[in-house]
């Protein structure tokens, strides 16, 4: 079974915790990014999300948002949990990072997109 709970680290060195999943599949936790698009000092930031089929033995899809505490941006991640033949769990995600721009004329440059794989570190 793929378990989203615990800690995860991605290829950038960012880490996140997931506190207990409730029966509805929603969860909260924190995210410590290793990199930022701003020059401000990085702060651990809250994340909130939801997982499908919280009690089934499957490879669930999930999504979460991070409300950055040191910038005006928001990131949304969606992904799926997989287990390889060694039993190692990975969270394969795609993210969108929306930056606050002062005018809608700057919307074209306001969103970054990427992929990220998280593995369990604890």
Q: How far is the CB of 24 from ligand BTN (least distance, A)?
A: 26
Q: What is the DSSP letter of 74?
A: E
How big is the chain by its Cα radius of gyration, in Å?
Answer: 15
Q: How far is the CB of 55 from ligand BTN (least distance, A)?
A: 28
Give me the half-sphere count of Cα atoms (radius 13 Å) on the Cβ side of residue 21: 20
Q: For residues 51 and 62, what is the distance between their CA atoms, to the nearest angstrom?
A: 4
Which residue, 14 or 51, has its beta carbon nearer to ligand BTN? 14
Which residue, 44 or 54, has its beta carbon nearer to ligand BTN? 44
Which residue, 85 or 108, has its beta carbon nearer to ligand BTN? 108
Enumerate binding residues for ligand BTN (CB under 6 A): 10, 12, 14, 33, 35-38, 68, 71, 73, 75, 95, 97, 114, 116
Q: How far is the CB of 61 from ligand BTN (least distance, A)?
A: 19
Q: Which residues pair with 100 in a beta bridge?
A: none
Closest alpha carbon to 53 in 31, 10, 24: 24
Q: Which residues pair with 16 in a beta bridge?
A: 8, 31
Which residue, 57 or 108, has its beta carbon nearer to ligand BTN? 108
Q: How far is the CB of 35 from ligand BTN (least distance, A)?
A: 5
Q: How far, rounded to the nearest angstrom, does the alpha carbon of residue 106 sit from its chain's CA centroid?
A: 25
């Amino acid at each position: 079974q793929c378990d989203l709970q615990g800690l995860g680290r991605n290829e950038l060195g960012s880490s996140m915790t997931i506190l207990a999943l409730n029966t509805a599949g929603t969860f909260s936790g924190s995210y410590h990014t290793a990199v930022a698009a701003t020059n401000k000092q990085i702060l651990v930031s809250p994340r909130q999300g939801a997982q499908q089929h919280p009690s089934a033995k499957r490879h669930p899809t999930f999504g979460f948002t991070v409300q950055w505490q040191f910038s005006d941006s928001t990131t949304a991640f969606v992904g799926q949990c997989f287990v390889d033949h060694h039993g190692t769990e990975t969270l394969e995600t795609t993210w969108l990072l929306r930056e606050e721009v002062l005018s809608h004329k700057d919307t074209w440059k306001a969103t970054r997109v990427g992929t990220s794989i998280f593995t369990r570190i604890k």
